[in-house]
Chain A
């Protein structure tokens, strides 16, 4: 008797161990890659590198929160990149140095830094609200609704971009108040990291401590059930998109200064990085599941890997292969969990 019990126990722990391994396989692989990076270049473990990684994660994290909310609603947002690009171009056009040779608005006075931020957020939120409205009202799949918006926004953004005094030229020569505000440091901490931390706290509160947050998970998990229990599904969807738009606006505002220039190609493809980070961080495409900490982990892991691979001088094309495999593996594991759930 005791023999069979032991056998059952040992076989169970083996099963559990296996499940644990499968569940966390993606993290184990990522951990191995990081270990590999450290072994091949021990100087990777330095305060400087750590700082760089946090700084480079900041804007990505803000964008991941935006699209993360939409993914919790079983949606996705392909227009993220163009929205960020539009916000970056608007910000850049409004915050050029007075003595810069080819200004977008030659007679623009020096604005308070917050004005372009508010304008960028308002514009991004407006277009994102349209996405939400189309998705909620016409029940169009978010992939298609936002695909349309992605293309439309590129048109609108390019028209605005070409309307400046110097014609369709990249916008540069930013006001140093603005660039210092974004890429400077306070008490040794990069400002970008501080902004990302503040936004993380706000998003955490919104997702976890408010009715909006409860509705978000309810609608994402099961829209029918949410509707029956009295949640205004359309309003929730539109609000989530508006929130995403505001975050894209902030992202674009920070991005222009980080790049040092903006044009109508800025932001191209950012949606894919943000969505990939969310997925790796456990925000499920099947909806209703996803945490702030997941988005943070996903973004950090992606940045560590891409920074690390660049750091050891790995070929860019090879990096694409590794990133692609990680994304598919993460989704495969996510799907496995989902199958188990039903």
Chain B
């Protein structure tokens, strides 16, 4: 009897113990999260991200937290790309009386309601990454924006290309493969109607024009910021423009990398000496320029495929946000601001060109 009952009892106990153990583990992890989230040391600042799954935002948020180290405690929220969730997270944070909120809106138009709401609560706001409308920013004097000007990224991208072509509009160098004094370009556009896509494209073209470079647009193709879509569309584009193509300018790095992938399949970017690096002076090399500064893009630049990119300087933005937050909260070491505060509202951080 004993041998038959024992294992059963033991089994039951085992199951119960397992349940208890997992409950304990759950409780412990809950407690850990809670402690991490709400250990109140100094002023609390809400840090609201539009989507943590965006690698750029993830890195940006980490930089903000690192910079803030002793100035305040950043409590981070991820809206998972839902403005509704973000609104609810902001409501929850208001109930805890934070000293300030740093908001990366999911939808810039929703900022109107947010500014009105936080003005009523007298909680200052620093917006970042997505800029609210100027008319909404004007609602309150304690809301700020830290970011970059989309126009500048297009201008810098054009400058990268122009310097490669010799910086002299009347005497293009060997990269003008046809030698006709005109740069034949394919432009990969993010999204039709998207503010950044429109501005980057417009400023790129405008910069060439302003410096007197003649360009011929072979195609402006919309690839929705996506690498695979750019890869697909570049196939058709190369079929018709392969022989004349001299430059590819992409609204972001992902599309530039997709285009490069397709160009390699079509015989561009030969590595004749098998050095592992593409020879820029080889006849099959064509400059491709992106924007964003993805890690993959830097890698591609090192390997010699991508010519250059324009980086969003998120570290400087994070520094500016923390200084601005200190000043707005008015802590003991507040006051000093190393960045120009335009109209008492905006801090503009320059993009940084990146080439090999």
Interface string of A301-320 (1 = CB under 8 A from B): 00000110011111111100
Distance in Å: Cβ of A132 to nearest Cβ of chain B: 27
Partner of B84, one of A52, A170, A179, A259: A259
The residue among A49, A179, A268, A314 with the most chain B CB atoms within 10 A of its own CB is A314
Q: Are B34 and A41 in contact (CB under 8 A)?
A: yes
Q: Quick one: given A36-B27, A56-B88, A168-B192, are A314 and B34 in contact (CB under 8 Å)?
A: yes
Distance in Å: Cβ of A73 to nearest Cβ of chain B: 28
CB within 8 Å of B: which A174-190 residues: 179, 183
Q: How far is the CA of A13 from the CA of B84 in the complex (A)?
A: 47
CB within 8 Å of A: which B28-77 residues: 29-31, 33-38, 52, 75-77
Decide yes or no whether A46 CB sits under 8 A from chain B: yes
Which residues from B are CB-within-8-Å of A261? 83, 107, 109-110
Which residues from A are CB-within-8-Å of B92? 49, 52, 307, 310-311
Q: Are B38 and A313 in contact (CB under 8 A)?
A: yes
Distance in Å: Cβ of A184 to nearest Cβ of chain B: 12
Distance in Å: Cβ of A162 to nearest Cβ of chain B: 9
Which residues from B are CB-within-8-Å of A41? 34, 38
Distance in Å: Cβ of A26 to nearest Cβ of chain B: 15
Q: Are A310 and B88 in contact (CB under 8 A)?
A: yes
Q: How far is the CA of A263 from the CA of B92 in the complex (A)?
A: 25
Distance in Å: Cβ of A192 to nearest Cβ of chain B: 12
Distance in Å: Cβ of B91 to nearest Cβ of chain A: 5
Interface string of B122-141 (1 = CB under 8 A from A): 00000000000101000000
Q: Are A173 and B34 in contact (CB under 8 A)?
A: no
Query: Looking at chain B's contact residues, is the secondary structure mostly helix, strand, loop, or mixed?
Result: helix
CB within 8 Å of A: which B101-152 residues: 107-114, 133, 135
Nearest opposing residue in chain A for B97, CB measure: A43
Decide yes or no whether B338 CB sits under 8 A from chain A: no
Which residues from A are CB-within-8-Å of B352? none
Which residues from A are CB-within-8-Å of B8? none
Decide yes or no whether B95 CB sits under 8 A from chain A: yes
Distance in Å: Cβ of A83 to nearest Cβ of chain B: 16
Decide yes or no whether B316 CB sits under 8 A from chain A: no
Q: Are A314 and B33 in contact (CB under 8 A)?
A: yes
Nearest opposing residue in chain B for A43, CB measure: B96
Q: How far is the CA of A171 from the CA of B112 in the complex (A)?
A: 12
Decide yes or no whether B193 CB sits under 8 A from chain A: yes
CB within 8 Å of B: which A256-287 residues: 258-261, 263, 268-269
Decide yes or no whether A116 CB sits under 8 A from chain B: no
Decide yes or no whether A152 CB sits under 8 A from chain B: no
* Chain A contact residue count (CB 8 A cutoff): 39
Distance in Å: Cβ of B12 to nearest Cβ of chain A: 14
Which residues from B are CB-within-8-Å of A46? 95
Decide yes or no whether B279 CB sits under 8 A from chain A: no
Interface string of A73-95 (1 = CB under 8 A from B): 00000000000000000000000
The residue among A55, A168, A269, A313 with the most chain B CB atoms within 10 A of its own CB is A313
Q: Are A313 and B84 in contact (CB under 8 A)?
A: no
Q: Are A255 and B33 in contact (CB under 8 A)?
A: no
Partner of A40, one of B38, B80, B91, B96: B38
Decide yes or no whether B167 CB sits under 8 A from chain A: no
Q: How far is the CA of A189 from the CA of B299 in the complex (A)?
A: 57
Q: Are B112 and A172 in contact (CB under 8 A)?
A: yes
Q: How far is the CA of A179 from the CA of B87 in the complex (A)?
A: 15
Decide yes or no whether A191 CB sits under 8 A from chain B: no
CB within 8 Å of B: which A218-242 residues: none
Q: Are B83 and A260 in contact (CB under 8 A)?
A: yes
Which residues from A are CB-within-8-Å of B78? 315-317
Decide yes or no whether A167 CB sits under 8 A from chain B: yes
Q: Are B193 and A167 in contact (CB under 8 A)?
A: yes
Partner of B36, one of A263, A311, A313: A313
Which residues from A are CB-within-8-Å of B112? 172-173, 260
Q: Are A315 and B33 in contact (CB under 8 A)?
A: yes
Distance in Å: Cβ of A160 to nearest Cβ of chain B: 15
Distance in Å: Cβ of A90 to nearest Cβ of chain B: 17
Decide yes or no whether B242 CB sits under 8 A from chain A: no
Q: How far is the CA of A260 from the CA of B116 in the complex (A)?
A: 11
Distance in Å: Cβ of A2 to nearest Cβ of chain B: 28
Q: How far is the CA of A310 from the CA of B91 in the complex (A)?
A: 10
Q: Are A263 and B107 in contact (CB under 8 A)?
A: yes
Q: Are B107 and A170 in contact (CB under 8 A)?
A: yes
Please give the residue numbers on chain B whose beta carbons come within 8 Å of chain A beta carbons, in ascending order: 27, 29-31, 33-38, 52, 75-78, 80, 82-84, 87-89, 91-92, 95-96, 107-114, 133, 135, 192-193
Sampled A-B contacts (21; CB under 8 Å): A40-B31, A43-B96, A49-B92, A52-B92, A52-B95, A56-B91, A167-B192, A168-B192, A172-B107, A172-B110, A172-B133, A255-B84, A259-B107, A260-B112, A260-B113, A261-B109, A307-B88, A314-B30, A314-B34, A316-B52, A317-B78
Question: 4 closest A-B pairs (Cβ-Cβ)?
Answer: A313-B37, A172-B109, A260-B113, A261-B109
Beyond contacts A49-B95, A258-B87, A260-B113: 13 other A-B pairs, Cβ-Cβ < 8 A, are: A36-B34, A48-B95, A101-B135, A167-B192, A172-B109, A172-B112, A173-B112, A259-B107, A260-B112, A261-B83, A269-B82, A314-B34, A315-B33
